[in-house]
Amino acid sequence: MIISELQTDAISELINIAFSRSAASLSDLTASRVDLEVPEVSVHPIANITAALHRFVKGDVATVHQVFTGPVAGDAFLLMNFDGAVHLVELLTNGEVVSKGLGASAREVVTEIGNIVMNACLGVFGNLLHVRFSFSVPRLSLDDLGVMVNSLIVDSNPMQHALVVGARFRLRNSEVTGCLVLVLGIASFELFLQEVEAWAERSLRGGANE
């Protein structure tokens, strides 16, 4: 599936809205400024996802996973390098959490970060599509990227596609890069893109809102 430049721009814009909400939530929680940027957006067949993910993460990764159901159904993932997750926890908790091995409290923090980012994104998409998603409880797994991707491919329908969104957290003069992945079935993806394009066109005409 190839997405047009307009669709890419529109998705980037929507993700930007979601990320700024996530960043605001994280800033509130930590009482210090957190920025969350979108370096790039791309779509890949699920079987070819590894190369796309390698642009953002490698080796051991911390993955927060949430299943969402509704008219557009799929899986949402926030992936970060293990070391990046450790660093992000240190930055967000001001070194309050002993996180060298991502202990229980640090894992909860990573899970809540993923939860905030994914809820914001799916909330924005839900408003766009005028549908209500149901979300599962967020779960964190710590695995090698290859193992994580294999489980994703094995569990997925080969027709599924993945929307891969870079996610760059910036705070306290440091940055941690990860990526948000939405895995959708072909029907969901087509509906999603259709709605995105409609939103973009409305937006270009100056009448769009979320």
Partner 1 sequence: MQSNKAFIENLDRLGAWGVITTDTKLFVTGWNRWLEQRSGKPAGEVLGRHIFELYPDLTSRGIDRYFREALEGRDCLLSQRFHKFLLPMPPSVSCTSLMHMQQTARLMPLMDDETVSGTLTLIEDVTERIVTEDELRKQAERLEEAGRHKDDFLAMLAHELRNPLGPIRNGLHVLELVPGDSTEARQTRAMMARQVGHMARIVDDLLDVSRIARGKVRLRHEPCDLTSIVRDVIEDYRPLVEKSGIRLVIDSTPERAIVRGDGVRLAQVVGNLLNNAAKFTNAGGEIRVTREINRKAKTVVVRVSDTGIGMSRETLSRVFDSFAQADSSLDRSKGGLGLGLSLAKGLTNLHGGSIEAASNGPDMGSMFTLVFPLSESEVRENTTVVDGQEPAKHSKRVLVIEDNPDMGLSMQMLLTHLGYRVELAASGTEGLDAARQFQPQIVLCDIGLPGRNGYEVARALRADPDTQQAYLIAQSGYGADDDLRKSHDAGFDLHLTKPVDFTELKRVLSAVPGDPARR
Tell me the residue length of the chain: 210
Question: CB of 126: closest distance to partner 1 in angstroms?
Answer: 8
How deeply is 68 buried, as exposed, middle or buried, from its count of CB atoms within 10 A (0-12, 13-18, 19+)? buried
Q: Give, for 184, the enclosing helix (H) or strand (E).
A: strand 174-184
Toward partner 1, which CB reaches closer, 29 or 191? Answer: 29
CB 116 within 8 A of CB 18: no
Toward partner 1, which CB reaches closer, 134 or 209? Answer: 134
Question: CB of 42: closest distance to partner 1 in angstroms?
Answer: 26
Toward partner 1, which CB reaches closer, 42 or 127? Answer: 127
CA distances from 90 to 80, 99, 186 (A): 14, 7, 39
Q: Which residues bind partner 1 (CB under 8 A)?
A: 28-30, 66, 92-93, 96-98, 103-106, 108-109, 111-112, 115, 119, 122-123, 132-138
Question: CB of 104: closest distance to partner 1 in angstroms?
Answer: 6
Question: CB of 158: closest distance to partner 1 in angstroms?
Answer: 29
Contacts of 112 (CB under 8 A, 6+ apart): 138
